[in-house]
Amino acid sequence: MIAFSILLLLLAVLGAPLFTVIAASAMLGYQQEGIDLMAIAIEILGIAEMPFLSAIPLFTFAGYLLSESNAPRRLVRLTNAVLGWMPGGLALVALAACAFFTAFTGASGVTIIALGAILYPALQHDGYPDNFNLGLVTSGGSLGLLFAPSLPLILYGVIAEVPIDGLFRAGILPGLLMLVMLAGWSFWVNRHNRKPPGSFSWREVGGALRESLWELPLPFVVLGGIYSGFFAVSEAAAVTALYVLLVEVFILREIRIKDLPLIMRESMLLVGGILIILGVSLASTNYMIDAGVPQKLLSIVAELVTSPASFLLLLLVFLLILGAILDIFSAIVLVVPLVLPIAAQYGVDPFHLGIVFLAAMQLGYLTPPVGLNLFIASYRFDQPIMKVYSATFPFLVILLLSVIVIAFWPQLSVWLVNV
Amino acid sequence: MVSDNLSRALERLRLLGTAVENALLVLLLSAMMLLAVGQIVLRMFFDSGLLWADELLKILVLWIALVASVAAARSRRHLRIDVLSRYVPQRYARVPELLVDLFAAGICGFIAWHSLQFILLSMGDTVLVDIPSWVAQGILPLAFLLMCYRFTLHFLAGFFRVLRGSPTRIPGP
């Protein structure tokens, strides 16, 4: 049994698709317990039993559509009109636009490709140091993960069976904290780079607003609809997807109909990858819960730590290591069911746990060896990976500080949930 | 040439397969959007709704998950721990890649077989009021069979590359 487990781990590290490794471990467990292997089919079919799951393909598709249109350019123009006049304004613009776009596209790496291509040259043109720009754009790619309606938030809600609208509220303040800390760092780095600040122009704001007229209702419909309880998250996703499709293809005509199948396919590749892992994880999780793995983990953890604070510290270290190895989606699906009961024993609020979990995993996008953003940025901006590492490092440190604050200040996450 | 004909036939199969995957994804995603929005319209303006819509929506999610998973196997886009291909020179990464593809093919075949057993066993069940459940669930063994086939092809392609020792490289992200 142990030999098999080590073999599976080895295969995972060698790059076997994670869903095959998880499925194999579940079936190995079944074999041990004398459960018929047919059970794996029943568990995978459980994908069709989970509520709100249709939100994941629909939001992902809407996000890919937006990133293929000129919406990223309009978003940057609008943000620039509102924030660009401040000192260090363009860095601020980059942070805000990235956070907004990531929230709507679900942290799949499209932010770096869609927005980075506009922001990176613009920052260079405005005389910001090259390393700073590279780090900013790379870390911006996963900023906004904590804002509604990002995919990881929805996935956590589905897995942990926590109300998703509550999670959407829980993410607001911690997400803002990350933004403010990064903005502060940007001001500090560029404190000597005193360009005469631009001037604020109502005319430019008006022009940018007019240009974005069709996309402007989106955040209000989606967020307003969900927060007010008028839409379930899956309904908001359907409205968003259909609306974006109609606007970008038929009204603005920025995406040709014949390109649609490829965009759909491209977006669904990610969705398929996430959902199939979800399916096989249902099998491995149920097996582990039957086998009493959470209780065993709890007794191990109980030997190490006693207070909630030390538990959170242990959790944080664990999540940072996990995030360096696993992508955020696999990590949520695999680990949340095991961590949830343990965290409950230490009195950690499930909303707070979710935000800490996602915030810590967000760092995983930026940490070697597998940080997705590092590779996308290296590829997209044609920079050596070592340079991307070092350029991103200061941003990683700032984000780590913010994650520590988020972990040890539960009210920050929980406060808005109960308002 | 026999091998020429074979490779042409395989190429045609590949194009056909990709086209079918894409068509299915377009169909499923469109159906999902229209069904969900239709439900909202019915609820808002007519104070009613389709009783089976929610269940159908969930079956659509299952289908999208499985069809997209087959597509992801073709495009090598399944989530994985991607250290090897990024840090190990291509010529040393080939043999582990072979191993991994063979393993994935085996597991998918295994799941395909056992889910087929399950479908056969639950033949009398129904979904969506009176539709036999195998209509909705039959995609499960089929999808895993196709993934098994896909990973076997990846394995074979890799195997012949190792034999020939040609320096072809799988493109980056």
Q: Give the closest-approach CA distance of A371 to chain B in angstroms.
A: 9
Q: Higher-confidence residue: B69 or A204?
A: B69
Per-residue model confidence (pLDDT) at position A108: 65
Contacts of B58 in chain A (CB under 8 A): 48-50, 53-54
Q: Which residue of A has its CA nearest to B121?
A: A38
CB contact under 8 A, B68 and A273: yes
ipTM over 0.85: yes
Per-residue model confidence (pLDDT) at position A291: 83
Q: Give the closest-approach CA distance of B1 to chain A in angstroms.
A: 34
Could you tell me the pTM of the whole model?
0.90
Give me the mean pLDDT over the A313-341 stretch: 90
Alpha-carbon distances, residue A8 vs A17, A230, A351, A375, B32 (angstroms) = 11, 46, 33, 26, 36
d(CA B46, CA B89): 63
Whether the predicted pLDDT of A197 surpasses 60: yes
**pLDDT tens digits, one per residue of A121-153:** 988 888 889 999 999 999 988 888 999 889 999
What angle is formed at CA A131 by the lines to CA A129 and CA A137, rounded to 5 degrees?
100
Per-residue model confidence (pLDDT) at position A114: 86
Give me the mean pLDDT over the A84-102 stretch: 87
Per-residue model confidence (pLDDT) at position B172: 41
CB contact under 8 A, A272 and B67: yes
CB contact under 8 A, B111 and A44: yes
Tokens 């009210």 correspond to A411
Closest partner CB to B36 (pick from A234, A276, A329)? A234
Q: Which residue of B has its CA nearest to A377?
A: B173
Amino acid at A50: M
Mutate to test the interface with A, among B27, B79, B118 (most CBs of A within 10 A): B79
Per-residue model confidence (pLDDT) at position A241: 93
Per-residue model confidence (pLDDT) at position A34: 87
Give me the mean pLDDT over the A298-319 stretch: 89
CB contact under 8 A, A48 and B21: no
pLDDT tens across the length of chain B (173 residues): 567 788 888 888 888 989 999 999 999 999 999 999 999 889 888 877 787 888 899 999 999 999 999 999 998 889 888 777 777 787 778 888 899 999 999 999 999 999 999 999 888 777 777 788 888 889 999 999 999 999 999 999 989 888 887 554 444 44
Q: Give the closest-approach CA distance of B2 to chain A in angstroms.
A: 34
Per-residue model confidence (pLDDT) at position B67: 96
Residue closest to B66 by CA, chosen among A161, A3, A268: A268
A242 near B CB under 8 A: yes
Q: Give the closest-approach CA distance of B167 to chain A in angstroms.
A: 20
CB contact under 8 A, A38 and B118: yes
Which chain A residues in 347-386 lie under 8 Å from chain B, judged by CB atoms? 369-370, 375-376, 379
Which chain B residues in 143-172 lie under 8 Å from chain A, judged by CB atoms? 172
